[in-house]
Amino acid sequence: MVDASGDVFLLPGPVKMDPRVLQAMSVPAMNHRGPEFKEVLSEIRALTQYMFGTNGEVAVLSGSGTAGLEAAVSGLVRKEDRVLNLVNGKFSERFHELCQVFARPTALTFEWGSAVDPRQVAAALDADEFKAVTVCWNETSTGLTNPIAEIAKVVKARDAFLLVDGITAVAGLENRMEAWGIDALVMGSQKCLAAPPGLSAVALSKRAYESLHSDTSFYTNLKAHVDALAKQDTPFTPAVPLFLAFREALRLLKAEGLETRITRTSRLAEAARAAIDALGLELYPDRRYASNTVTAIRYPPGIDDAKFRKELRERHRTIVAGGQAQLKGQIFRIGHMGICSFKDLEAGFAAFEATLATMGHPSPHGAAPSAIEKRA
Amino acid sequence: MVDASGDVFLLPGPVKMDPRVLQAMSVPAMNHRGPEFKEVLSEIRALTQYMFGTNGEVAVLSGSGTAGLEAAVSGLVRKEDRVLNLVNGKFSERFHELCQVFARPTALTFEWGSAVDPRQVAAALDADEFKAVTVCWNETSTGLTNPIAEIAKVVKARDAFLLVDGITAVAGLENRMEAWGIDALVMGSQKCLAAPPGLSAVALSKRAYESLHSDTSFYTNLKAHVDALAKQDTPFTPAVPLFLAFREALRLLKAEGLETRITRTSRLAEAARAAIDALGLELYPDRRYASNTVTAIRYPPGIDDAKFRKELRERHRTIVAGGQAQLKGQIFRIGHMGICSFKDLEAGFAAFEATLATMGHPSPHGAAPSAIEKRA
């Protein structure tokens, strides 16, 4: 089963979309202040709470994941506040850069491919006063999932806000935001939800909602977005077609069931890791923390990244991502979140196997796809 | 000719879209860092310059008009800078509120429905030091076009930056941004371009581009957006379907010709004003400054806004906007920008005529539609 485009589309986002989600966008202009769109927003709010597993306040912003992160940071901390940024990849670095605009951040860094160590977080929080801690739950750049429950426990015990980039985590990884004590959790439309890119959503704890201020943001003013949505409205003109597609993707998530999607995502990840073993390749991150939504794979010696991905694209219509920043040329990355199927993964790994073989890295024929099929 | 939905859709934005624009969105996921999307961005950049009538730097942001305004303000002024906001309607008020977050603004207010007086602007700039002036070129809330060339002349002579909300002006009103001396001009996708809502674009003068800083914004960091687009890239994940629709709408604008669209918009406005006379109604704004893209019409005594628009919607499938803020209940507003046709206007005015007649405000049967037909 390949994408409607005929491609095997395995990016770590945007991801393959259901035809119903695509079709939801192509509708004539709608009055975003009229009764019809109020119903859309009402349904979106309820289903967004379902997606986050919360009864608390949520917002949906007309802006991609970074807009959601900015809304959380700018709404909860102020320029004079110290913020501890846990950094172990490109997206947690970006979170740190964002905090430089809105707060006084300090980066606590960990090697790329290794997880955030909660004990070091505890030590940093014990040594200094921080208003908030940021973490990238699932580091898309390294294919690594940080131990969010343990990190949250440490942060909660020290009374700081915990702001979480869950862009490639929410609706793909097990989430107990209320029990764990996450204060702001951000998702991106084009990842585990499998909607088009361009929207982000934020879920807040009760104490976070009560602390929101409006001093340093306008377009991403989180309080304005949350309060408007509670009244089936938006503070500014919403990206209507994306909201319609987002609603459709949420309906599909609800129909599949959140738990079912998370379990299926985890089985796909296990199958991908088994197939990597069958190809004689290595995972990039610490295997104990390997992500269930994004898999990052080291190139074997002699395999050129640009050539490999060009071959995949042109001969096998298979789309994967390369490495970012210092990992450029060293790894490639695949997404298996959202509505990705075992057949998608099988087709992808068959293409990897064939391409690696022509480039001087042969492996037993059919071993990788069959490793996936066995787990389907 | 009514909208594909069967509606006569006459909001002052979002506006009716061409089926090709709608269809452009429903395509499978695309790698926004791949060669195909680079071509999309390249074409969008060139056509956006065409739309603004500039060879200077432009940006397209994944966020609605307010995001574009925020990008211009946050990129060009700093928290300690004084900014003069020219305020004569709801959207210029919002521009003032936005400046409260990013600068030290002073509002120079004019009565709603009357135009900004360039002499008062000159006096204000002579009395105090201001880094920038903001103006809403076309006040959508009052259906009024401010005398932008005269305002620009005054501001340019005093060396302040001129930041212009052109959300319902660009591609609908004659624009000589370079000759007049506009430093930042912002448009919204869902207005005169007739693309879906959710994107905004900004065009900059040379000196404005050279003055951009990145201190107070992140998602709307204008320098990051401009520089990325010049390299066929975006700083953050773009709203891909909206970019594809935006490109299609730009292609249609180019095919029609910018000057032709502006002239057609002006003829539609004249026809609308003639039809208002035929209905025995009054324009809300000072007629000398009546907008060519949005017409605001006073209700005659005894006509209830909610009832009138409900009748229009339910009996005639005709969608118009009410008044905002203090104008709620006093006016209704129609848009005749983008791909609005004379037939759309005729159908709309036939519905107004019939509805007003049933509500106790009769006028000669068919006079309003025929006033339009005569000017088609």
Query: How many CB pairs below 8 Å do chains A and B form together?
Result: 183
Same domain, residue pair A119 and A263: no
Beta carbons of B132 and B173 less than 8 angstroms apart: no
Contacts of A28 in chain B (CB under 8 A): 3-5, 7, 9, 16-17, 22
Which pair of tokens denotes residue B234? 């975006």
Does residue A204 belong to any structural domain of this protein?
Answer: yes
- B294: pLDDT strictly greater than 70: yes
Same domain, residue pair A31 and A120: yes
Does residue B274 belong to any structural domain of this protein?
Answer: yes
Contacts of B216 in chain A (CB under 8 A): 101, 216
Distance between CA atoms of residues A260 and A159, nearest Å: 33
Contacts of B22 in chain A (CB under 8 A): 25-28
ipTM of predicted complex: 0.97
Q: Which of B28, B62, B218 has the CB atom closest to A3's CB atom? A: B28
Same domain, residue pair A245 and A275: no
Q: Which domain holds residue B365?
A: 8-15+257-375
Tracing tokens 């004379």 back to the chain, one arrives at: B342
Distance between CA atoms of residues A153 and A173, nearest Å: 18
A20, A25, A187, A337, best to mutate vs chain B, most B CBs in 10 Å: A25
Residue A325 DSSP class:
G
The string of pLDDT tens digits covering residues B55-65 is 999 999 999 99
Contacts of A30 in chain B (CB under 8 A): 14
Residue-wise burial string across A343-359, b where 16 or more C-beta atoms lie within 10 A, e elsewhere: ebbbbbbbbbbbbbeeb
Distance between CA atoms of residues A275 and A271, nearest Å: 6
Judged by phi (left if over 0) then psi (alpha if -120 to 50, else beta), residue B317 lies in left
Same domain, residue pair A263 and A248: no
Distance between CA atoms of residues A322 and A343, nearest Å: 22
Same domain, residue pair A81 and A180: yes
Residue A265 — φ and ψ, nearest 5°? Answer: -60, -40
Same domain, residue pair A251 and A262: no
Distance between CA atoms of residues A1 and A19, nearest Å: 13
Same domain, residue pair A301 and A194: no
Does residue B2 belong to any structural domain of this protein?
Answer: no
Domain boundary among A256, A282, A299: A256
How far CA B199 is from CA of A236, B69, B173, B204, B343, in Å, comes to 12, 12, 20, 17, 28
Contact at CB, A319 and B34, closer than 8 angstroms: yes
Residue-wise burial string across B85-119, b where 16 or more C-beta atoms lie within 10 A, e elsewhere: bbbbbbbbbbbbebbebbbebebbebebbbbbbbe
What is the least distance, in Å, from the CA of B21 to any CA of chain A? 8
Distance between CA atoms of residues B119 and B147, nearest Å: 11
Give the sign of the dihedral formed by CA A53, CA A94, CA B40, CA B215. Answer: positive
Domain boundary among B226, B255, B284: B255
Distance between CA atoms of residues B59 and B204, nearest Å: 9
- First-to-last C-alpha distance (Å) of chain B: 13
All residues at 6 or more sequence positions from A272 whose CB lies less than 8 Å from its CB, including other chains: A295, A334, A336, A345, A349, A372
How far CA B154 is from CA of A26, B115, B133, B176, in Å, comes to 45, 15, 10, 15
Contacts of A219 in chain B (CB under 8 A): 63, 66-67, 70, 219-220
Does residue B222 belong to any structural domain of this protein?
Answer: yes
Beta carbons of B172 and B52 less than 8 angstroms apart: no
Same domain, residue pair B286 and B340: yes
pLDDT of residue A2: 44
- B181: pLDDT strictly greater than 50: yes
- B262 - beta bridge partners? none
CB atoms within 10 A of CB A260: 11
The string of pLDDT tens digits covering residues B81-117 is 999 999 999 999 999 999 999 999 999 999 999 999 9
Distance between CA atoms of residues B333 and B142, nearest Å: 8
CA B355 remoteness from chain centre: 28
Beta carbons of B173 and B136 less than 8 angstroms apart: no
What is the least distance, in Å, from the CA of A157 to any CA of chain B? 31
The string of pLDDT tens digits covering residues B237-250 is 999 999 999 999 99
Domain boundary among B231, B255, B279: B255
Encoded amino acid at A230, one letter: A
CB atoms within 10 A of CB A36: 9
Which pair of tokens denotes residue A64? 């991609």
Residue of A nearest to B16 (CA): A29
Residue B87 sits in a domain whose CATH number is 3.40.640.10
All residues at 6 or more sequence positions from B164 whose CB lies less than 8 Å from its CB, including other chains: B134, B135, B136, B137, B148, B177, B182, B184, B185, B186
Residue A309 sits in a domain whose CATH number is 3.90.1150.10
Kindly report the average pLDDT of chain B as a whole number. 97
pLDDT tens digits for chain A (376 residues)? 345 567 999 999 999 999 999 999 999 999 999 999 999 999 999 999 999 999 999 999 999 999 999 999 999 999 999 999 999 999 999 999 999 999 999 999 999 999 999 999 999 999 999 999 999 999 999 999 999 999 999 999 999 999 999 999 999 999 999 999 999 999 999 999 999 999 999 999 999 999 999 999 999 999 999 999 999 999 999 999 999 999 999 999 999 999 999 999 999 999 999 999 999 999 999 999 999 999 999 999 999 999 999 999 999 999 999 999 999 999 999 999 999 999 999 999 999 999 999 999 999 999 999 999 999 9
- B6: pLDDT strictly greater than 80: no
Closest CA to B32 of B43, B22, B40, B24: B40
Distance between CA atoms of residues A73 and A297, nearest Å: 32
Does residue A184 belong to any structural domain of this protein?
Answer: yes
In percent, the amount of chain B with pLDDT more than 90 equals 98
Secondary structure class of A356 (helix, strand, coil):
helix
Q: Is the peptide bond before A19 cis (omega within 30 degrees of 0)?
A: no
pLDDT of residue A115: 98
Closest CA to B326 of B54, B107, B113: B113
Contacts of B214 in chain A (CB under 8 A): 101
pLDDT of residue A5: 66
Residue-wise burial string across A127-145, b where 16 or more C-beta atoms lie within 10 A, e elsewhere: eeebbbbbbbbbbbbbbbb
What is the least distance, in Å, from the CA of A345 to any CA of chain B? 17
Residue B107 DSSP class:
E
Same domain, residue pair A57 and A100: yes
Strands (E) in B137-260, as ranges, are 138-139, 144-145, 161-165, 184-188, 200-204
SS3 content of chain A, % helix, strand, coil (to 5): 45, 15, 40
Distance between CA atoms of residues A218 and A228, nearest Å: 14
Instruction: Read off the pLDDT band of B1 (50, 70, 90).
Output: very low
Q: How many CA atoms lie within 13 A of A177 on its CB side?
A: 33
Same domain, residue pair B213 and B178: yes
Contact at CB, B11 and A31, closer than 8 angstroms: yes
Give the number of domains in chain B: 2
pLDDT of residue B2: 44
Contact at CB, B237 and A70, closer than 8 angstroms: no
Distance between CA atoms of residues B341 and B264, nearest Å: 9
Same domain, residue pair A212 and A263: no
What is the least distance, in Å, from the CA of A249 to any CA of chain B? 14
Does residue A280 belong to any structural domain of this protein?
Answer: yes
Distance between CA atoms of residues A80 and A83, nearest Å: 10
Does residue B302 belong to any structural domain of this protein?
Answer: yes
B1, B17, B26, B168, best to mutate vs chain A, most A CBs in 10 Å: B26
How far CA A116 is from CA of A109, A182, A271, A373, in Å, comes to 8, 16, 25, 33
Beta carbons of A137 and A145 less than 8 angstroms apart: yes
Tracing tokens 């201020």 back to the chain, one arrives at: A213
A1, A100, A237, A309, best to mutate vs chain B, most B CBs in 10 Å: A237
pLDDT of residue B5: 66
Contacts of B97 in chain A (CB under 8 A): 218
Does residue B153 belong to any structural domain of this protein?
Answer: yes
Nearest-5° Cα angle at A143, A142 to A147? 100
Specify the higher pLDDT residue, B161 or B6. B161
Same domain, residue pair B108 and B148: yes
